[in-house]
Chains A and B, each alone.
Chain A
Amino acid sequence: MSLLKDFMNGLWNEHPIFRLLLGMCPLLAVTTTAVYGLAMGLATLFVIVCAEIVISLIRNFIPKKVRIPSYIIIIATFVTIVDYTMAAFLPDIAEALSIFIPLIVTNCLIMARVEAFASRVPVKRAIADALGQGVGFTWGLVLLAAVRELLGQGAIFGFQILGEGFPTWGIMGLPPGAFISLGIILAVINQIIRLRHKRTKEVS
């Protein structure tokens, strides 16, 4: 039961992007199209799951004083694996994401979860947490990317959705569009949470 709770936490209550505001750089940079968002999300998911497993397994052997450098090396190892695997099998996507794949290593989301969670709990719970955070991060990326792709190119995942006559918003593919659309999505989510709070208060 608690495993399920650890997993679900990442999907909404402690959502890495919308609630904790972690991992902003890759989120804003790669979400020009939904495919890139999905690829980035899955790459991060792989790294966070592997890192949390390994760190949870060896948590009792790492001296407290050198724990941060040790975590960084473990994370960097898995990032290297992802970097080379993607360059070999998905060269187009790897080129589009460019330096943001190696930069998974400085994604504060991974460091935060490893430090706050994986280094304190047994492997089972670490896996549940990593999956939850990874999937949460991925759906956040895909949501923002889908909004930007829909308004910027009239398509989602490359499928044309809005008709030919739709005037595409070029700004959505550029940095300002990324910042502003994420700001608006955050505001909408804040509002949803606020309304829910009100309702639960009224009921009780």
Chain B
Amino acid sequence: MENLLLLFAGTVLVNNFVLARFLGVCPYLGVSRQVDTAFGMGLATTFVMVIASVFTYLIYHFLLIPFGLEYLEIVAFILVISSLVQVVELFMQKVSPTLYRALGIFLPLITTNCAIMGLALLVIQEGYQFIEALVFALGAGVGFTLAIVLIAGIREHLDIADIPYALRGGAITLIIAGLMALAFSGLAGVV
């Protein structure tokens, strides 16, 4: 239990997916103009991460390994993730239209979010057990949400600030991300 808590806290704060591992930087820079949409994106990503980690774990251990097909890892994972995203989208549309309206537009974007694929690969690489993989996925999602909501909050304030021409857009966002990464690296001693 203690190990799992440590793993969770470590994944959220110390080895934050965006700020320490550089996974999911594209949505982090692209969908972080407003806090509301950023939060929606974070929730949708967390949701898909947890489900994807379950499926990729099962497929790797009960399909690819028994048949000696580890070399199909990349093809299998990306197919699972992209079809999973579609299924989740259809399912949500039927079962919970409110949730669908809130998260729907972000779902297609998630397929090319390298955080999901990276998560599946890291679970295999680190040799996590099933429960550990679940906690790891949840921590990754929460960490991603935290990072994207924080930067969206800062960017909302930037809209009214007078920024030098050359720094507008991507440049200032990257520098802020760098400062955030610096702040997060200060948490390294905590866990």
Interface residues of A (CB under 8 A from B): 21-22, 24-26, 28-29, 68-69, 72-73, 76-77, 79-80, 83-84, 98-99, 102-103, 105-108, 111, 171, 174-180, 182-184, 186-188, 190-191, 194
Contact = CB atoms under 8 A, between A and B. Distances in A.
Given A111-B112, A186-B174, A188-B166, A80 B121 contact: no
Contact of B117 (A21, A83, A103, A180): A103
A194 B166 contact: yes
Interface in B155-191: 164-175, 177-179, 181-182, 185
B174 A180 contact: yes
B79 A72 contact: yes
A69 B182 contact: no
Interface stretch (B17-25, B49-57, B87-95, B133-141): B17-25
Nearest to B116: A106
A21 B121 contact: no
A72 B14 CA distance: 32
A59 to B, nearest CB: 20
B79 A69 contact: yes
Given A103-B121, A180-B174, A25 B114 contact: yes
B31 interface: no
Chain B, interface size category, equals 35 or more
Interface in B1-38: 19-26, 29-30
Interface stretch (B40-48, B68-76, B98-106): B68-76
A138 B78 CA distance: 24
B22 A106 contact: no
A99 B125 contact: yes
Nearest to A30: B22
A99 B164 CA distance: 37
B122 interface: yes
Given A73-B75, A102-B73, A103-B121, A190 B166 contact: yes
A189 to B, nearest CB: 9
A175 B19 contact: yes
Contact of A184 (B125, B164, B165, B171): B171
Which of A25, A98, A106, A178 counts the most B-chain CB atoms under 10 A from its CB? A106
A175 B167 contact: no
Contacts of A24: 22, 25-26, 29
B121 A102 contact: yes
Contacts of A29: 21-22
Nearest to B23: A25
